[in-house]
Structure 1
Amino acid sequence: MTRTPLRDASPETFAALLALDGRMKKSLGPVLYDLVKLRASQLNGCAYCVDMHATDLERRGTPSRKLHGVAAWQESPFFDETERVALAFTERLTGGIGAIDDALWDEAGRLLGEERRSDLIVAVGTINTWNMAGVTTHLQPAGELAPA
């Protein structure tokens, strides 16, 4: 069954989400925001978003080892303190509301500051909304894989 994607079914809502997405990218920076989006998309099983954000990170020069390491970021040596706190926030908020303990809250504040920490909460909510739309409407990555 074909389902109408959000961009076609509700263009104004789609535009509002794009604007919010742009604000989060500006606040967190494109690489950190894409790492957040990639990890949430992995957790939510959104193939379309995983493909898009991994491709975006690749285009920004993120090494492939780091891209592959996102799935196991806690054990991977490829992430700095700020990326780790953002990925921890992402996992905990994607796993359920209220899962940010005081230690993580304080660490995020130290590394990101008040505004960026607040924006990180909204960023995780935004990608989770995109993931819900993508999974629910059965969006799939476009194109074929290039031969190895």
Structure 2
Amino acid sequence: MAKKKSKQSNSNTIALNKKARHNYNLTDKFEGGMSLQGWEVKSIRTGKVNISDCFVMVKDGEAYLVGSEILPLNAASSHVVCDPTRDRKLLLNRRELDRLIGAVERDGYSLIATAMYWKQCWVKLEFYLGKGKKSHDKRADIKDREWSIDKGRIMKNKNLGK
């Protein structure tokens, strides 16, 4: 007897911020849990999340995810007030928070969210310390990327000719 294949994907990724690497020079990676309400977890399971324009803000010694959008389900309870763009608290160690506060306030770094994913049964946010790129930096990165592609093509054709 054949088993039925489930339609769920094996990927733990919920949402990605693809523009982050293009707009910022990312340096140090951090991972934090999120304090979520029940309706938010249900919406995340269905994939109704957008983190493309969000960032992490440090306020009063705590880290918050600002600008993320979790759309409520149509079948959500009527007694629950759903705010899709509320600030969500990140769960980090005191040592990590102190390091982030120092980097943001003294060194002028930004905290950019790059991915949201499942880790066992918890929702985790991956974010980086980063500084914004200027337009000439972006052009230089594009030029380097295109040159590496062309170089690979040249080397491939050179090796095939022997």
TM-score category, normalised to shorter length: under 0.3
What TM-score results when the alignment is normalised by the length of structure 2? 0.23
Q: Kindly indicate which of the two structures has a greater share of residues assigned to strand.
A: 2
Q: Which has the higher helix share?
A: 1
Q: TM-score, normalised by structure 1?
A: 0.25
Q: Which has the larger radius of gyration?
A: 2
